[in-house]
Amino acid sequence: MTARIRFEPDGIETDVPVGTTIRDAAERAGAQLGSACGGVCACSTCHVYVKEGREDVSAMADGEEDILDKAFDVRANSRLGCQSELLKDRLYVVEISRESRQSFLDEHPEARPKV
């Protein structure tokens, strides 16, 4: 089974196997999602907003809640991409937070827009 995920605001879409994390899907798709800790739930740089499909994402663990407390602009649909597995064959829509995109650009200066 495959899940389809669209990353906003860029509209980048990809298909991934069910059970893939949002972070791994972003990497596969080339979406600009931060990942300073490498996906081990030690930072909040992969902070996203799950706009569609939240009910079909893995449950939030206590450790994730603790790390999200350090993020900016946390909302009811906030998740850490590294901890959020896509559980069903469906379309998910995820908005990458501004801080996550900035973290990605800090981690990958070659991806910054040329001025």
pLDDT at 112: 85
Domain count, the chain: 1
The reply to whether 42 falls in a domain is yes
Tens-digit pLDDT profile for residues 47-65 = 999 999 999 999 998 899 9
pLDDT at 53: 98
State the residue range of the domain holding 64.
2-109
Tokens of residue 81, six digits:
């991409």
Question: Is the full-model pTM beyond 0.75?
Answer: yes
Query: Average pLDDT, stretch 93-114?
Result: 93
Residue 94 neighbours by CB distance under 10 Å: 27
The reply to whether 115 falls in a domain is no
Strand ranges inside 1-115, DSSP E: 2-8, 12-17, 47-52, 78-80, 91-96
Residue 8 has pLDDT above 80, yes or no: yes
pLDDT at 56: 98
| CATH number of the domain to which 20 belongs | 3.10.20.30
Residue 73 has pLDDT above 90, yes or no: yes
